[in-house]
Structure 1
Amino acid sequence: MTRNIGLMSDMDMNPKLALRINESSMRKDGNLFNSSIAPSTPPTSSTAPPISGSPTSAQTPSSQSKPKTQTDGPSASAESSSTGKKKSLSVKRVIWISIAAVLSFIILVLAILLCLPKCLRKWHETQRTPKHHEIAPYIGARENPGDSGSLVQPGHDIEKAPLVVPPNEKQPRRPAPVPKPQDEQQVNVQTMTAVPKKDDKRVIVEPIAPAKDTATRLPTRPLPLTSVKSYTIASLQQYTNSFSQDNLLGSGMLGSVYRVELPNGKLLAVKKLDKRVCDQQTDDEFLDLVNNIDRIRHANVVELMGYCAEHGQRLLVYEYCCNGTLQDALHCDDEFKRQLSWNTRMRMALGAARALEYLHEVCEPPIIHRNFKSANLLLDEELAVHVSDCGLASLISSGAVSQLSGQLLTTYGYGAPEFESGIYTSQSDVYSFGVVMLELITGRMSYDRTRSRGEQFLVRWAIPQLHDIDLLTRMVDPALDGKYPIKSLSHFADIISRCVQHEREFRPPMSEVVQDLIQMIRRESHRRSDGE
Structure 2
Amino acid sequence: MGYLKWEMFFWVFFIGLVLIFKAPPCGGLTDPRDVMAMNNLYIALGYPPLRGWLLVGGDPCGENWQGVECVFSNITSINLSNENLGGELGDSLQFLGSVIHLDFSNNHIGGIIPSALPPTVRNFSLSGNQFTGSIPITLSTLSQLLYLSFENNRLVGPIPDVFQQLTSLTNLDMSTNSLDGQLPPSMGNMLALSALHLQNNRLGGILDVLQDLPLQDLDVENNLFSGPIPPKLLTVPNFRKEGNPFNTTIIPSPLEAPTPSPAAQAPTSEELPWKHVNGPSSTITTRTIQSKKFLTAKAIIWIAVAGFLIVIALLLCITLSRCIKAKRRDKLAGEHYFESYKGSSEKPKPGESSLQQSSRMEAEAAKETVVRPPQERGRVDTGRMGLPPKLQPQDERFMNLKRNVQSSRDLRDNEIDMTDTDDDILLPPPPPPFSVENSGVIPGVPTTVTTVERPLQSQHLNSVRVFTVASLQQYTTSFSQENFLGSGILGSVYKAELPDGKLLAVKKLDNNTAIKQRNDEEFLELVSNISKLQHPNIVELVGYCAEHGQQLLVYEYCRNGSLHDALHIYDEIHKKLSWNRRIQIALGAARALEYMHGVCQPPVVHRNYKSVNLLLDEKLETLVSDCGLSPLLSSFTLSQMSGGHNSYGYSALEFESGSYTCQSDVYGFGVVLLELLTGRKSYDRSRPRGEQYLVRWAVPKLHDIDALSRMVDPSLNGAFSMKSLSRFADIISSCIQREPEFRPPISEIVQELLQMI
TM-score tier (shorter)? 0.5 to 0.7
Find the counterpart in structure 1 of residue 586 from structure 2.
349
Among all aligned residue pairs of Structure 1 and Structure 2, give the percentage whose two residues are the same amino acid.
59
Q: What is the 5 A alignment of 1:310-329?
A: 310-329=547-566
C-alpha displacement at 1:285, in angstroms?
Answer: 0.8
Contact 2:496 2:506 in 1 (8 A): yes
User: In the alignment, does 2:695 pair up with 1:459?
Assistant: yes
Find the counterpart in structure 1 of residue 377 from structure 2.
142
Contact 2:381 2:392 in 1 (8 A): no
Give the 3 Å change call, closer, same or farther, for CA 318–149 of structure 1 in structure 2: farther
Q: Give the letter for the 1:334 counterpart.
A: D
CA distance in 1 between partners of 2:678 and 2:487 (Å): 25
Give the 3 Å change call, closer, same or farther, for CA 160–445 of structure 1 in structure 2: farther
User: In the alignment, does 2:491 pair up with 1:255?
Assistant: yes
Contact 1:435 1:459 in 2 (8 A): yes
Calculate the TM-score normalised by the size of structure 1: 0.59
Give the 3 Å change call, closer, same or farther, for CA 240–217 of structure 1 in structure 2: closer
- Greater helix percent: which structure? 1
Contact 2:583 2:756 in 1 (8 A): no
Contact 1:330 1:337 in 2 (8 A): yes
Find the counterpart in structure 1 of residue 15 from structure 2.
none
Give the 3 Å change call, closer, same or farther, for CA 324–161 of structure 1 in structure 2: farther
CA distance in 2 between partners of 1:357 and 1:300 (Å): 10
CA distance in 2 between partners of 1:484 and 1:315 (Å): 43
Match of 1:446 among 670, 682, 686: 682
Contact 1:152 1:230 in 2 (8 A): no
Find the counterpart in structure 1 of residue 536 from structure 2.
299
Secondary structure of the equivalent of 1:314?
A: strand
Secondary structure of the equivalent of 1:306?
A: strand
Secondary structure of the equivalent of 2:755?
A: helix
Give the 3 Å change call, closer, same or farther, for CA 518–350 of structure 1 in structure 2: same
Give the 3 Å change call, closer, same or farther, for CA 310–474 of structure 1 in structure 2: same
C-alpha displacement at 1:519, in angstroms?
Answer: 1.0
Match of 2:613 among 362, 365, 376: 376
Match of 1:365 among 602, 605, 609: 602
Based on CA coordinates, which of the two structures has the bigger radius of gyration?
1
Deviation string 1:9-55 (CA, Å, 9 cap, x unpaired) is xxxxxxxxxxxxxxxxxxxxxxxxxxxxxxxxxxxxxxxxxxxxxxx
Find the counterpart in structure 2 of residue 43 from structure 1.
none
Find the counterpart in structure 1 of residue 475 from structure 2.
239
Match of 2:647 among 398, 411, 427: 411
Contact 2:737 2:743 in 1 (8 A): yes
C-alpha displacement at 1:160, in angstroms?
Answer: 9.3
Contact 1:450 1:456 in 2 (8 A): yes
Give the 3 Å change call, closer, same or farther, for CA 251–317 of structure 1 in structure 2: same
Deviation string 1:292-346 (CA, Å, 9 cap, x unpaired) is 1111011100001011111111111101100010000001123321221000000
Over the aligned positions, Cα root-mean-square deviation in angstroms equals 3.1
Match of 1:490 among 714, 726, 732: 726
C-alpha displacement at 1:264, in angstroms?
Answer: 1.0
User: In the alignment, does 2:740 pair up with 1:500?
Assistant: no
Match of 2:509 among 248, 273, 278: 273
Match of 1:332 among 565, 569, 578: 569
CA distance in 1 between partners of 2:653 and 2:541 (Å): 32
Find the counterpart in structure 2 of residue 3 from structure 1.
none
Give the 3 Å change call, closer, same or farther, for CA 273–162 of structure 1 in structure 2: farther
Find the counterpart in structure 1 of residue 660 from structure 2.
424
CA distance in 2 between partners of 1:390 and 1:449 (Å): 29
Gaps of 5+ in 2: 1-370, 413-427, 433-448
Contact 1:153 1:229 in 2 (8 A): no
CA distance in 2 between partners of 1:149 and 1:345 (Å): 45
Give the 3 Å change call, closer, same or farther, for CA 489–161 of structure 1 in structure 2: farther
Give the 3 Å change call, closer, same or farther, for CA 292–138 of structure 1 in structure 2: closer
Q: What is the 5 A alignment of 1:114-193?
A: 139=373, 141-146=376-381, 149=388
CA distance in 1 between partners of 2:533 and 2:521 (Å): 19
Give the 3 Å change call, closer, same or farther, for CA 406–146 of structure 1 in structure 2: farther
Aligned residues: 340
Q: What is the 5 A alignment of 1:74-153?
A: 139=373, 141-146=376-381, 149=388
Give the 3 Å change call, closer, same or farther, for CA 433–296 of structure 1 in structure 2: same
Q: What is the 5 A alignment of 1:6-17?
A: none
Find the counterpart in structure 2 of residue 395 from structure 1.
632
Secondary structure of the equivalent of 2:756?
A: helix
Which moves more between the two structures, 227-236 or 334-343? 334-343
CA distance in 2 between partners of 1:483 and 1:153 (Å): 58
Deviation string 1:165-212 (CA, Å, 9 cap, x unpaired) is 9xxxxxxxxxxxxxxxxxxxxxxxxxxxxx9997979999xxxxxxxx
Q: Give the letter for the 2:699 counterpart.
A: I
CA distance in 2 between partners of 1:507 and 1:234 (Å): 47
Q: Give the letter for the 1:378 counterpart.
A: L
Find the counterpart in structure 1 of residue 750 from structure 2.
514
Match of 1:283 among 516, 520, 544: 520
Give the 3 Å change call, closer, same or farther, for CA 151–331 of structure 1 in structure 2: farther
Q: Give the letter for the 1:254 counterpart.
A: L
Secondary structure of the equivalent of 2:584?
A: helix
CA distance in 2 between partners of 1:247 and 1:402 (Å): 28
C-alpha displacement at 1:404, in angstroms?
Answer: 2.3
Calculate the TM-score normalised by the size of structure 2: 0.42
CA distance in 2 between partners of 1:247 and 1:506 (Å): 43
C-alpha displacement at 1:364, in angstroms?
Answer: 1.0
Gaps of 5+ in 1: 1-136, 166-194, 205-215, 522-532
Give the 3 Å change call, closer, same or farther, for CA 460–243 of structure 1 in structure 2: same
Q: Give the letter for the 1:143 counterpart.
A: G
C-alpha displacement at 1:407, in angstroms?
Answer: 2.5
Q: What is the 5 A alignment of 1:28-47?
A: none
Give the 3 Å change call, closer, same or farther, for CA 430–198 of structure 1 in structure 2: same
Give the 3 Å change call, closer, same or farther, for CA 270–483 of structure 1 in structure 2: same
CA distance in 2 between partners of 1:269 and 1:201 (Å): 31
C-alpha displacement at 1:142, in angstroms?
Answer: 3.0
Give the 3 Å change call, closer, same or farther, for CA 152–485 of structure 1 in structure 2: farther
Q: Give the letter for the 2:579 counterpart.
A: W
Higher relative contact order (CA 8 A, sep 6+): 1
C-alpha displacement at 1:408, in angstroms?
Answer: 2.6
CA distance in 2 between partners of 1:384 and 1:203 (Å): 36
Contact 1:151 1:232 in 2 (8 A): no
Q: Give the letter for the 1:428 counterpart.
A: S
User: In the alignment, does 2:699 pair up with 1:470?
Assistant: no
